[in-house]
Structures are given as structure tokens and as C-alpha cells.
């Protein structure tokens, strides 16, 4: 385990290789599972604020689900998550012409319509954060649908913490990330 400030980081985040291979998985993480993307409480008002700007990007089914339930739900685990279509596919997921799922929120961000990229849980995946009173625990969430990403990352020689540099900095800051790299690699990041 690696500790930095109020975070405890699983060794898997340093040791495992990972680079998403959307041509193989087709963005299955946006469909598989029984809940939408986990949301932090501070993201709830953001989701409400951006909803009107994101709706034009979504499928008719996604729009219908959001209009019926709002942009998020209080799920059966007592947490908040994005609304889903038929309790499966994230309502914010969109298919590109190649049949790969992408994020409608992120597309609106890339088009300059909103300033919020996407929920941090999506941006950080396959790292999952469990927030405790005194610290956050960062763990690698192993899922068979991500097997192509593991093989792709290994072939490219890209460890998980490097693949997720941008969202880790978004969540914890540049200084925190530099300390992580130093602890893993034994040197300052260049």
C-alpha cells in the first residue's frame, strides 16, 4: 500500500498495466452492471446544471430516462448514480458510428458546451475510490470486460497510474500525483 496525505493507494495501481482498448470492449463499462456511474454529492448540482446542454447529445431513450427520473438517482445502495436506461445502460452513453459507447457529457465538454468533463468515477475508472471519514482508499476494480485493456496496457508498457494521470491530478492535484510517481518510481516526475 502507498499512503499520501489522506489517501491509501493499492499496490495494483502501481503494478498493473492498463490502457482502454475501445475497439475491443466497445465501451462496455457504460452498459454493464446494475447501476449508473457513481456520483459524489458535489457532482449532483453540476449534473442538474449541465443537463439541458447535454440532452441534445443523447439517444432518445437516454433523454426519456432523464426526463422521467432526472440526471441521477439515489440508488438501492444508498448512494447517488447516473440515471440508467432500463436499469442497465447509462442514460448519458452515446454510440459513435463504429458502435462504440462514449460519454454524452464528455462530448458536450469537448464541444465547449460545458466545463465539466464527466463524473470523476468515470474518468478514474478502473480505479474506484471508497471514501472513509479519515481517508480515501483507491483500489483497482478488476472486471473481465476490461481484459483487453490489461493486455493492451501490458503490450504498451503503460501502468495504470500513468494511464490515469489526468483524472488522478483532477481529483487530488498535481503535487499529490508527483508524490505518487516519486513513491512508485523512486524519483521526481520530470
Both 105 and 42 in one domain: the answer is yes
Both 3 and 48 in one domain: the answer is no
pLDDT of residue 176: 96
Both 107 and 188 in one domain: the answer is no
Residue range(s) defining the domain that contains residue 172? 1-18+126-190
**Chain segment 123-176, per-residue pLDDT in tens:** 999 999 988 999 999 999 888 878 888 899 999 999 999 999 999 999 999 999
Whether the CB-CB separation of 36 and 90 falls below 8 Å is answered with yes
User: Could you tell me the pTM of the whole model?
Assistant: 0.88
Both 133 and 174 in one domain: the answer is yes
**What is the Cα–Cα distance from 30 to 133, expressed in whole angstroms?**
29
**Chain segment 27-60, per-residue pLDDT in tens:** 778 787 778 889 999 999 999 999 999 999 999 9
pLDDT of residue 35: 82
Both 31 and 65 in one domain: the answer is yes
pLDDT of residue 69: 93
Both 32 and 113 in one domain: the answer is yes
Last residue of a domain, one of 82, 117, 152: 117
Both 112 and 145 in one domain: the answer is no
Number of domains within the chain: 2
Nearest Cα to Cα of residue 161 among 188, 190, 183, 136: 183
Last residue of a domain, one of 117, 134, 166: 117
Both 40 and 106 in one domain: the answer is yes
Both 108 and 172 in one domain: the answer is no
Amino acid at each position: 500500500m502507498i499512503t499520501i496525505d489522506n489517501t491509501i493507494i493499492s499496490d495494483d495501481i502501481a503494478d498493473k498495466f492498463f490502457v482502454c482498448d475501445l475497439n475491443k470492449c466497445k465501451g462496455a463499462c457504460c452498459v454493464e452492471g446494475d447501476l449508473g456511474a457513481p456520483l459524489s454529492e458535489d457532482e449532483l448540482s453540476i449534473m442538474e446544471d449541465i443537463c439541458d446542454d447535454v440532452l441534445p447529445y443523447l439517444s432518445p431513450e437516454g433523454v426519456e430516462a432523464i426526463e422521467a427520473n432526472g440526471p441521477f438517482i439515489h440508488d438501492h445502495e444508498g448512494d447517488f448514480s447516473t440515471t440508467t436506461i432500463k436499469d442497465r445502460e447509462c442514460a448519458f452513453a452515446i454510440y459513435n458510428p463504429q458502435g462504440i459507447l462514449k460519454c454524452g457529457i464528455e462530448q458536450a465538454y469537448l464541444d465547449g458546451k460545458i466545463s465539466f468533463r464527466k463524473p470523476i468515477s468515470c474518468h478514474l475508472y478502473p480505479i474506484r475510490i471508497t471514501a472513509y471519514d479519515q481517508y480515501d482508499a483507491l483500489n483497482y476494480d478488476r472486471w473481465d470486460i476490461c481484459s483487453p485493456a490489461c493486455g493492451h496496457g501490458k503490450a504498451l508498457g503503460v501502468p495504470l497510474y500513468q494511464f490515469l494521470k489526468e483524472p488522478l491530478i483532477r481529483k487530488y492535484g498535481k503535487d499529490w500525483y508527483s508524490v505518487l510517481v516519486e513513491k512508485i518510481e523512486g524519483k521526481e516526475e520530470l
